[in-house]
Amino acid sequence: MICADFHVHTDFSGDSDTPMKDMIERAIDIGLTQICITDHMDHLYPEQYHMNFTFDVKEYFHQIEEMSEYYKDRIKIYKGIELGLVPKLAGWYQELVSKYSFDFVIGSSHIVDDLDPYYREYWEEKEEEEGYRGYFQTILDNMDAYDDFDTYGHIDYIVRYGPCKNQNYSYKKYADILDKILLAIIHKKKALEVNTSGYKYGLEQSHPHRDIIKRYKELGGKYITIGSDAHKPEHLAYDFRKISDILVSLGFEYYTIFEHRNPKLIKF
Protein backbone atom coordinates (compact mmCIF):
# COMPACT_ATOMS: atom_id res chain seq x y z
CA MET A 1 0.00 0.00 0.00
CA ILE A 2 1.13 3.53 -0.80
CA CYS A 3 -0.42 6.02 1.63
CA ALA A 4 1.36 9.16 0.44
CA ASP A 5 0.90 11.14 -2.79
CA PHE A 6 3.91 13.39 -3.42
CA HIS A 7 2.95 15.17 -6.64
CA VAL A 8 -0.32 17.08 -6.40
CA HIS A 9 -1.57 20.34 -7.93
CA THR A 10 -4.19 22.80 -6.70
CA ASP A 11 -5.47 26.15 -7.91
CA PHE A 12 -2.13 27.78 -7.12
CA SER A 13 -1.10 26.10 -10.40
CA GLY A 14 -2.00 27.89 -13.63
CA ASP A 15 -3.52 24.70 -15.04
CA SER A 16 -5.65 23.59 -12.07
CA ASP A 17 -8.80 25.04 -10.55
CA THR A 18 -9.03 22.64 -7.63
CA PRO A 19 -9.21 24.34 -4.22
CA MET A 20 -6.63 22.87 -1.85
CA LYS A 21 -9.40 21.94 0.58
CA ASP A 22 -11.09 19.72 -2.04
CA MET A 23 -7.85 17.89 -2.79
CA ILE A 24 -7.17 17.26 0.89
CA GLU A 25 -10.68 16.04 1.63
CA ARG A 26 -10.44 13.63 -1.27
CA ALA A 27 -7.08 12.42 0.06
CA ILE A 28 -8.65 11.72 3.45
CA ASP A 29 -11.64 9.97 1.82
CA ILE A 30 -9.44 7.55 -0.12
CA GLY A 31 -7.31 6.75 2.90
CA LEU A 32 -4.09 8.65 2.25
CA THR A 33 -2.28 9.52 5.46
CA GLN A 34 0.19 11.94 3.85
CA ILE A 35 -0.01 14.35 0.95
CA CYS A 36 2.51 16.79 -0.47
CA ILE A 37 1.15 19.77 -2.41
CA THR A 38 3.53 20.54 -5.28
CA ASP A 39 2.17 23.45 -7.30
CA HIS A 40 3.79 24.63 -10.55
CA MET A 41 6.45 27.30 -10.46
CA ASP A 42 7.64 27.89 -14.02
CA HIS A 43 9.45 31.20 -13.83
CA LEU A 44 9.50 33.07 -17.17
CA TYR A 45 7.27 30.50 -18.83
CA PRO A 46 7.16 31.57 -22.52
CA GLU A 47 4.75 34.49 -22.94
CA GLN A 48 3.36 33.23 -26.23
CA TYR A 49 1.23 30.63 -24.42
CA HIS A 50 -0.51 33.18 -22.20
CA MET A 51 -0.36 30.99 -19.10
CA ASN A 52 0.74 32.01 -15.65
CA PHE A 53 2.63 29.18 -13.99
CA THR A 54 3.79 31.17 -10.96
CA PHE A 55 2.21 31.97 -7.61
CA ASP A 56 2.77 33.83 -4.36
CA VAL A 57 4.76 31.43 -2.19
CA LYS A 58 3.97 33.32 1.03
CA GLU A 59 0.26 32.99 0.42
CA TYR A 60 0.77 29.33 -0.56
CA PHE A 61 2.59 28.56 2.69
CA HIS A 62 -0.08 30.38 4.65
CA GLN A 63 -2.81 28.28 3.06
CA ILE A 64 -0.94 24.98 3.51
CA GLU A 65 -0.28 25.83 7.17
CA GLU A 66 -3.96 26.61 7.75
CA MET A 67 -4.97 23.30 6.14
CA SER A 68 -2.33 21.39 8.13
CA GLU A 69 -3.74 22.72 11.36
CA TYR A 70 -7.38 22.16 10.41
CA TYR A 71 -6.84 18.57 9.20
CA LYS A 72 -4.02 17.63 11.59
CA ASP A 73 -5.84 14.66 13.15
CA ARG A 74 -6.69 13.17 9.75
CA ILE A 75 -3.75 13.73 7.39
CA LYS A 76 -0.20 15.07 7.35
CA ILE A 77 0.28 17.77 4.72
CA TYR A 78 3.71 18.64 3.32
CA LYS A 79 4.89 21.80 1.58
CA GLY A 80 6.23 21.02 -1.85
CA ILE A 81 6.81 22.70 -5.17
CA GLU A 82 7.36 21.59 -8.76
CA LEU A 83 10.02 23.74 -10.40
CA GLY A 84 9.88 24.11 -14.18
CA LEU A 85 13.65 24.14 -14.64
CA VAL A 86 15.57 25.96 -17.38
CA PRO A 87 19.39 26.13 -17.11
CA LYS A 88 19.63 29.91 -17.26
CA LEU A 89 17.17 30.28 -14.37
CA ALA A 90 19.16 28.11 -11.95
CA GLY A 91 20.14 31.13 -9.83
CA TRP A 92 16.56 32.35 -9.58
CA TYR A 93 15.30 28.93 -8.45
CA GLN A 94 18.18 28.53 -6.01
CA GLU A 95 17.25 31.78 -4.32
CA LEU A 96 13.58 30.85 -4.15
CA VAL A 97 14.24 27.45 -2.62
CA SER A 98 16.64 28.81 -0.01
CA LYS A 99 14.20 31.55 0.99
CA TYR A 100 11.33 29.23 2.00
CA SER A 101 11.22 26.09 4.14
CA PHE A 102 9.90 23.56 1.68
CA ASP A 103 9.59 19.91 2.65
CA PHE A 104 10.05 18.68 -0.89
CA VAL A 105 11.22 20.03 -4.25
CA ILE A 106 10.49 18.37 -7.60
CA GLY A 107 12.76 19.40 -10.44
CA SER A 108 10.98 19.05 -13.78
CA SER A 109 11.59 19.81 -17.42
CA HIS A 110 8.62 21.45 -19.13
CA ILE A 111 10.41 23.67 -21.64
CA VAL A 112 12.78 22.70 -24.47
CA ASP A 113 14.47 25.48 -26.48
CA ASP A 114 11.89 28.03 -25.28
CA LEU A 115 8.99 25.85 -26.41
CA ASP A 116 6.52 23.77 -24.40
CA PRO A 117 6.15 20.36 -26.13
CA TYR A 118 2.57 20.37 -24.84
CA TYR A 119 1.82 22.58 -27.85
CA ARG A 120 2.03 21.46 -31.51
CA GLU A 121 4.60 24.03 -32.52
CA TYR A 122 7.40 22.05 -30.86
CA TRP A 123 6.68 19.07 -33.12
CA GLU A 124 6.67 20.96 -36.40
CA GLU A 125 9.66 20.24 -38.65
CA LYS A 126 11.00 17.68 -36.20
CA GLU A 127 11.06 13.91 -36.19
CA GLU A 128 9.52 12.38 -33.11
CA GLU A 129 12.86 10.90 -32.02
CA GLU A 130 14.52 14.30 -32.23
CA GLY A 131 11.72 15.77 -30.12
CA TYR A 132 12.13 13.08 -27.46
CA ARG A 133 15.92 13.36 -27.44
CA GLY A 134 15.70 17.14 -27.16
CA TYR A 135 13.55 16.70 -24.07
CA PHE A 136 15.92 14.16 -22.48
CA GLN A 137 18.84 16.49 -23.14
CA THR A 138 17.13 19.32 -21.20
CA ILE A 139 16.97 17.05 -18.18
CA LEU A 140 20.74 16.59 -18.34
CA ASP A 141 21.30 20.31 -18.90
CA ASN A 142 19.03 21.19 -15.98
CA MET A 143 20.83 18.79 -13.66
CA ASP A 144 24.18 20.24 -14.74
CA ALA A 145 23.02 23.75 -13.95
CA TYR A 146 20.92 23.14 -10.86
CA ASP A 147 21.25 20.96 -7.80
CA ASP A 148 18.70 22.07 -5.23
CA PHE A 149 15.89 19.58 -5.83
CA ASP A 150 14.94 16.26 -4.23
CA THR A 151 13.49 14.22 -7.08
CA TYR A 152 13.42 14.60 -10.86
CA GLY A 153 9.83 14.63 -12.11
CA HIS A 154 8.24 12.50 -14.84
CA ILE A 155 11.45 12.02 -16.87
CA ASP A 156 9.74 10.58 -19.95
CA TYR A 157 6.40 12.41 -19.93
CA ILE A 158 7.40 13.86 -23.32
CA VAL A 159 6.02 10.64 -24.88
CA ARG A 160 2.48 11.70 -24.09
CA TYR A 161 2.79 14.67 -26.44
CA GLY A 162 4.62 13.03 -29.39
CA PRO A 163 2.82 12.28 -32.69
CA CYS A 164 2.76 8.52 -31.99
CA LYS A 165 2.87 8.79 -28.17
CA ASN A 166 4.75 5.77 -26.80
CA GLN A 167 4.14 3.45 -29.75
CA ASN A 168 7.75 3.64 -30.98
CA TYR A 169 9.21 4.29 -27.56
CA SER A 170 11.28 1.91 -25.49
CA TYR A 171 14.08 2.07 -22.95
CA LYS A 172 16.34 0.31 -25.46
CA LYS A 173 15.84 2.91 -28.19
CA TYR A 174 16.93 5.76 -25.89
CA ALA A 175 19.18 3.75 -23.54
CA ASP A 176 22.25 5.92 -24.24
CA ILE A 177 20.69 9.14 -22.98
CA LEU A 178 18.34 7.58 -20.41
CA ASP A 179 21.32 5.90 -18.73
CA LYS A 180 23.04 9.28 -18.48
CA ILE A 181 19.96 10.71 -16.77
CA LEU A 182 19.67 7.81 -14.33
CA LEU A 183 23.38 7.95 -13.49
CA ALA A 184 23.21 11.71 -12.91
CA ILE A 185 20.28 11.25 -10.51
CA ILE A 186 22.17 8.52 -8.65
CA HIS A 187 25.48 10.44 -8.47
CA LYS A 188 23.69 13.51 -7.17
CA LYS A 189 21.97 11.35 -4.52
CA LYS A 190 18.56 12.49 -5.73
CA ALA A 191 15.40 10.45 -6.10
CA LEU A 192 13.68 9.29 -9.26
CA GLU A 193 10.02 10.24 -9.45
CA VAL A 194 7.55 7.57 -10.49
CA ASN A 195 4.59 9.54 -11.80
CA THR A 196 1.41 7.57 -12.44
CA SER A 197 -0.23 10.14 -14.74
CA GLY A 198 0.70 8.08 -17.81
CA TYR A 199 -2.01 5.57 -16.90
CA LYS A 200 -4.57 8.35 -16.77
CA TYR A 201 -3.46 9.39 -20.28
CA GLY A 202 -4.13 5.84 -21.50
CA LEU A 203 -0.45 5.18 -22.18
CA GLU A 204 -0.28 2.02 -20.07
CA GLN A 205 2.95 3.18 -18.53
CA SER A 206 4.08 5.30 -15.65
CA HIS A 207 6.61 8.10 -16.13
CA PRO A 208 9.16 6.77 -16.41
CA HIS A 209 8.31 3.46 -18.01
CA ARG A 210 8.77 0.30 -15.92
CA ASP A 211 11.86 -0.72 -17.92
CA ILE A 212 13.55 2.53 -16.95
CA ILE A 213 12.70 2.06 -13.27
CA LYS A 214 14.18 -1.43 -13.59
CA ARG A 215 17.35 0.03 -15.11
CA TYR A 216 17.55 2.63 -12.32
CA LYS A 217 17.64 -0.23 -9.82
CA GLU A 218 20.28 -2.12 -11.81
CA LEU A 219 22.46 0.99 -11.83
CA GLY A 220 22.19 1.29 -8.04
CA GLY A 221 19.24 3.68 -7.68
CA LYS A 222 17.49 3.44 -4.32
CA TYR A 223 15.23 6.44 -3.84
CA ILE A 224 11.86 6.54 -5.51
CA THR A 225 9.19 9.17 -4.89
CA ILE A 226 5.64 8.47 -6.01
CA GLY A 227 3.09 10.95 -7.26
CA SER A 228 -0.12 11.03 -9.27
CA ASP A 229 0.39 14.56 -10.65
CA ALA A 230 -3.33 15.05 -9.99
CA HIS A 231 -4.79 18.39 -11.06
CA LYS A 232 -8.29 17.23 -10.05
CA PRO A 233 -9.43 15.39 -6.90
CA GLU A 234 -10.56 12.27 -8.79
CA HIS A 235 -7.01 11.70 -10.06
CA LEU A 236 -5.37 11.64 -6.67
CA ALA A 237 -3.31 8.46 -6.04
CA TYR A 238 -4.21 7.32 -9.55
CA ASP A 239 -3.32 3.62 -10.08
CA PHE A 240 -1.21 3.53 -6.92
CA ARG A 241 -2.09 -0.14 -6.42
CA LYS A 242 -0.81 -0.97 -9.90
CA ILE A 243 2.45 0.94 -9.43
CA SER A 244 3.11 -0.52 -6.01
CA ASP A 245 2.80 -4.04 -7.47
CA ILE A 246 5.24 -3.08 -10.24
CA LEU A 247 7.77 -1.52 -7.86
CA VAL A 248 7.63 -4.46 -5.47
CA SER A 249 8.04 -6.89 -8.39
CA LEU A 250 11.17 -4.94 -9.43
CA GLY A 251 12.61 -5.50 -5.96
CA PHE A 252 11.93 -2.17 -4.31
CA GLU A 253 11.02 -2.60 -0.65
CA TYR A 254 10.66 1.10 0.12
CA TYR A 255 9.45 4.31 -1.42
CA THR A 256 10.63 7.71 -0.28
CA ILE A 257 8.89 10.77 1.08
CA PHE A 258 10.59 14.01 2.11
CA GLU A 259 10.15 16.10 5.21
CA HIS A 260 12.19 19.32 5.65
CA ARG A 261 14.05 18.19 2.51
CA ASN A 262 15.19 14.96 4.21
CA PRO A 263 14.36 11.56 2.75
CA LYS A 264 12.31 9.09 4.77
CA LEU A 265 11.95 5.53 3.56
CA ILE A 266 8.53 3.91 3.86
CA LYS A 267 7.91 0.20 3.43
CA PHE A 268 5.43 -0.78 0.71
| Phi, psi of 42, rounded to the nearest 5 degrees | -115, 90
Please, is 48 exposed, middle or buried when counting C-beta atoms within 10 Å of its C-beta (0-12, 13-18, 19+)?
exposed
Which amino acid is located at 155 in the chain? I
116 binds ligand HSO (CB under 6 A): yes
- The site map against ligand HSO for 45-74 (x = CB under 6 A) is ------x-----------------------
| Closest approach of Zn ion to the CB of residue 108, in Å | 4
Phi, psi dihedrals of residue 46, rounded to the nearest 5°: -50, 130
Output 3 or 109, the one with its CB closest to ligand HSO.
109
Per DSSP, helices labelled H in 71-194 are 90-99, 128-145, 175-187
> What is the C-alpha separation between 24 and 44, in angstroms, rounded?
29
Residue 128 binding target from ligand HSO, Zn ion, none, CB below 5 to 8 Å by type: none
Determine, following the binding rule CB under 6 A, whether residue 15 of this chain makes contact with ligand HSO: yes
Q: Which residues would be at the binding site for Zn ion (CB under 5 A)?
A: 15, 82, 108, 229
Task: Specify whether the CB–CB gap between 193 and 256 falls below 8 A.
Answer: no
Cβ distance to Zn ion smaller for residue 116 or 229: 229
Q: Which 8-state DSSP code applies to residue 82?
A: E
Which residue among 118, 123, 201, 254 contacts ligand HSO (CB under 6 A)? 118
Residue 103 binds ligand HSO, judged by CB under 6 A? no
Which of ligand HSO, Zn ion, none binds 123 (CB below 5-8 Å, type-dependent)?
none
The nearer residue to ligand HSO, 3 or 236, going by C-beta atoms, is 236
- CB of residue 110 to ligand HSO, shortest distance in Å: 5
Quickly list DSSP for 11-29: TTSTT----HHHHHHHHHH
Stretch that binds ligand HSO, among 31-39, 110-118, 162-170, 173-181 (CB under 6 A): 110-118
Binding partner at 116 among Zn ion, ligand HSO, none, C-beta below 5 to 8 Å by kind: ligand HSO
Q: Is 110 in the site for ligand HSO (CB under 6 A)?
A: yes
CB distance 155 to 110 below 8 Å: no
Alpha helices in 73-219 (DSSP H): 90-99, 128-145, 175-187, 197-200, 210-218
Nearer to Zn ion among residue 12 and residue 174 (C-beta)? 12
Chain residues binding ligand HSO by CB under 6 A are: 15, 51, 110, 116, 118
